[in-house]
Each structure stands twice: as structure tokens, then as C-alpha cells.
Amino acid sequence: MIILGIDPGTTRTGFAVLSFTRNRISLIEYGCWETKKISQGERLQELYKNLNQLIKKRNPRYLAMEKVFFFKNVKTALSISEAIGIVHFLSTKHHLSLIELTPLEVKQQLVGYGRAKKKSVQELIKACFGFTQIPQPDDAADALAVALAGINKVFKKL
């Protein structure tokens, strides 16, 4: 089965595609879409286009997304909420099982401690996939973590 991990944002959205069976997890692709120098409407349109193409290309069964629940800045909260809406819409459009995970849940699933440092999760991702360094930007590493935590959550349900 294929899972797509998303770290939602409007100026940067991290993504990761993993293949998994009960015995093996394989990295298919990961990265980050950046849309800094265009309007909010154009960013959302770009996110829709990129995510829709990736879903069609990789045909995932699951979509795991970081569920953001706290913002220091209301303007940022509204902007990211719009991006989250695009992700929700596309997961429904493509009949994907949506798995929403808070940052605390991602850390709990991967490191066993919800208050772990982000660096601990990044080091785990680096080791798990055999990277020589932590994936950059952070949004890409976060998407890998979300996808991996999504797999853990799915298998606990099976």
C-alpha cells in the first residue's frame, strides 16, 4: 500500500510518499513545494495542482497530514487553514483514507514520547531511510515523519 504524508503550508508544503507492507517500508519520493512569491490564491491553486498530480501519479490509499492546532499569528492560522482545506478536499475527491496527526502524536508514534525534540524525530528519519544528513527543508523531513507515523497508526488499527 502507498501512503502520502503532507506537512501543510501555503508558502511551503512538505510531501513524502512511502510504500509499505507488514514487513517493509520503502521511500518512493519526498520533497517540498515552495510558493513564496505569488499571491495566496495562486499559492492555493499551485498546491491543488501539485497535490492532485502527485495523488494521480502515486495512487496512495492513505493520506497522512499534520494537524496544526496552535498558532501564534491569526493571519498565519487562516492562511494554513486554507491549505488544509485543499488537502481535505483532494483526499475526499480521490477517496483516500485521511489520517490527521498532531505534532505530539507524530512524536509519540515515532519516538515514543510526545514531547520529544524535533531533532530526535529528524535523526530517526535520517536513520530509518539511510540518509547521510537530515532531509531539508524541515517541511520535507516533517512530511516523512508524518507519513511514517501514519503507517504506525494504520497498522495499530489492523
pLDDT in tens, 20-55: 987 899 999 999 999 888 999 999 999 999 999 999
Closest CA to 2 of 21, 82, 73: 21
Q: What is the mean pLDDT of residues 79-100?
A: 95
Active site residue 105: no
CA separation, residue 12 to residues 46, 73, 106, 136 (Å): 11, 17, 19, 12
Active site residue 42: no
Of residues 42, 82, 105, 139, which has the active-site annotation?
139
Residue 85 and residue 29 in contact, taking contact as beta carbons nearer than 8 Å: no
Render pLDDT for 99-130 as a digit per residue (tens, 0 to 9): 999 999 999 999 988 888 889 999 999 999 99
**For the chain, how many structural domains are there in total?**
1
CATH code for the domain of 55: 3.30.420.10
Active site residue 139: yes
Per-residue pLDDT at 10:
80
Neighbouring-strand partners of residue 136? none
Of residues 29, 34, 46, 66, which has the active-site annotation?
66
Residue 121 and residue 106 in contact, taking contact as beta carbons nearer than 8 Å: yes
Q: In whole angstroms, give the CA distance from residue 78 to residue 86.
A: 13
Residue 18 belongs to domain spanning = 2-157
pTM: 0.93
- pLDDT bracket for residue 158 (50, 70, 90): very low
- CA angle, 17 then 155 then 22, to 5°: 75
Per-residue pLDDT at 70:
61
